[in-house]
């Protein structure tokens, strides 16, 4: 496949570029549908005039439906995307990016999707689509899957579907609730994933950030103890990687606390731990949920994070050496490799 694309690039370079652009157009519509031409132009950082001819061509080819509600892919359009899947890595140079990242980060498997989540909203959905696919590949009957909150993990939930592979699987929140939208909290996503797959779930009804005395009281509650026991038996961890200060603000840190965190050199956050660029823990939040030592014991740790703004955070957490799979995007990959 790689050699064939190299030959095409030399003989008909315009063909490769056109193929890339039309793939990106189809993929964007797939994740954003139904969407109007103006919204699509904004999402792709383009103009309606530029997109008009391409949209008309794809419509005439039977790949798009256009209605008052917006554009959607036809069954044939979805099939074309599926057929292109094996060559996307080579088409966009993503396979090489992934290989270089594996060596730089020391992570056994890295998957890079096309685009930059900081610039294009559909890229996060693509991260979720790939995350759902990988989860389905590694899941085993009877597994306990610990999931964190956040928009990247929510996108995974969006792309899960019923499967016999999830028989007797339990989704468990890796921690309590954040001070954020309820649809992005770990409890909500654990229940959503169970509903989408036919699995079961448990909930952890505790705040994410606790006063030490409250933590000592709540951790003794039987219902909390039951969930913590399940988390101790977690085989798969599905989580996002946060920018340290962004996550602290979401947890309503005071300005003084934010300055302390910044002074400590915190660049990444995961599981309530804040890490510096060397991957060292600079602060540990009092919280009930999955602990870092339990993450290290899990058989599969699947991390999802995209956007060039996440590069430092991804590099920082990678130094924990607990990940089996990292799913990221082109924007983050290029930023990581430039450091």
Question: Same structural domain for residues 37 and 111?
Answer: no
pLDDT at position 1 is 56
Q: Is the domain of 257 the same as that of 147?
A: yes
What 3-state DSSP class applies to 204?
coil
119 and 79 within one domain? no
Could you report the per-residue pLDDT of 145-204, keeping only the tens digit for each? 999 999 999 999 999 999 999 999 999 999 877 555 788 899 999 999 999 999 999 998
201 in the same domain as 155:
yes
Look at the chain and count its residues.
339
Using alpha carbons only, what angle is made at residue 188 by residues 109 and 212, rounded to the nearest 5 degrees? 90
Q: 111: which residues sit within 8 A by CB, 6+ positions away?
A: 98, 130, 134, 325, 326, 327, 328
Query: Residues 36, 164: one domain?
Result: no
Buried b / exposed e over 55-67, threshold 16 CB at 10 Å, is: beebeeeebbbee
- Written as six digits, the tokens of 208 are 């994410």
Write the pLDDT tens digit of every residue in 10-49.
555 567 788 888 888 999 999 999 999 999 998 888 888 8
What's the DSSP call for residue 336? H
> Is-above-0.85 flag for pTM?
yes
Is the domain of 73 the same as that of 165? no
Same domain, 46 and 110: no
- CATH code of the domain covering residue 99: 3.40.50.1360
Q: Of 102, 193, 189, which Cα lies nearest the Cα of 143?
A: 193
Q: Are residues 206 and 122 in the same domain?
A: yes
Q: Which of 83-87, 183-187, 318-322 has the lowest mean pLDDT?
A: 83-87
What's the half-sphere exposure (Cβ side, CA atoms, 13 Å) at 261?
Answer: 24
Domain residues for the domain of 45 are 2-85
Q: How many domains does the chain have?
A: 2
- Give the separation between CA 286 and CA 282, rounded to whole angstroms: 13
Query: Where is 41: in which H helix or E strand?
Result: helix 37-43
Check whether residue 69 and residue 160 sit in a common domain: no
* Residue ending a domain, choose from 85, 108, 136: 85
Are 77 and 97 part of one and the same domain?
A: no
Residues 181 and 242 in one domain: yes
């Amino acid at each position: 496949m790689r050699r064939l694309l190299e030959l095409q690039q030399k003989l008909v370079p315009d063909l490769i570029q056109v193929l890339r652009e039309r793939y990106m157009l189809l993929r964007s519509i797939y994740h954003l549908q139904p969407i109007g031409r103006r919204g699509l132009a904004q999402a792709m950082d383009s103009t309606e005039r530029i997109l008009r001819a391409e949209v008309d061509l794809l419509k005439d080819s039977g790949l798009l439906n256009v209605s008052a509600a917006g554009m959607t892919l036809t069954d044939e359009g979805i099939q074309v995307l599926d057929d292109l899947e094996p060559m996307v890595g080579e088409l966009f140079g993503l396979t090489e990016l992934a290989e270089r990242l594996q060596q730089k980060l020391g992570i056994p498997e890295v998957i890079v999707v096309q685009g930059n989540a900081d610039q294009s909203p559909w890229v996060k959905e693509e991260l979720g689509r790939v995350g759902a696919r990988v989860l389905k590949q590694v899941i085993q009957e009877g597994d306990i899957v610990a999931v964190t909150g956040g928009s990247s993990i929510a996108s995974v939930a969006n792309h899960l579907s019923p499967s016999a592979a999830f028989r007797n699987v339990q989704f468990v929140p890796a921690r309590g609730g954040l001070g954020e939208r309820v649809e992005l909290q770990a409890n909500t996503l654990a229940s959503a994933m169970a509903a989408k797959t036919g699995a079961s779930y448990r909930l952890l009804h505790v705040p994410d950030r606790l006063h030490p005395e409250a933590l000592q009281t709540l951790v003794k509650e039987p219902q909390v103890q039951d969930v913590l026991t399940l988390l101790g038996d977690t085989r798969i961890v599905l989580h996002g990687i946060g920018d340290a200060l962004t996550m602290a603000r979401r947890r309503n840190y005071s300005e003084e606390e934010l300055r302390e965190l910044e002074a400590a050199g915190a660049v990444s956050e995961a599981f309530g731990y804040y890490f510096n660029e060397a991957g060292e823990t600079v602060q540990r939040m009092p919280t009930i949920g999955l602990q870092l030592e339990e993450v290290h014991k899990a058989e599969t740790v699947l991390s999802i994070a995209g956007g060039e703004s996440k590069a430092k955070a991804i590099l920082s957490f990678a130094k924990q050496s607990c990940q089996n799979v990292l799913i990221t995007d082109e924007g983050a990959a290029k930023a990581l490799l430039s450091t």
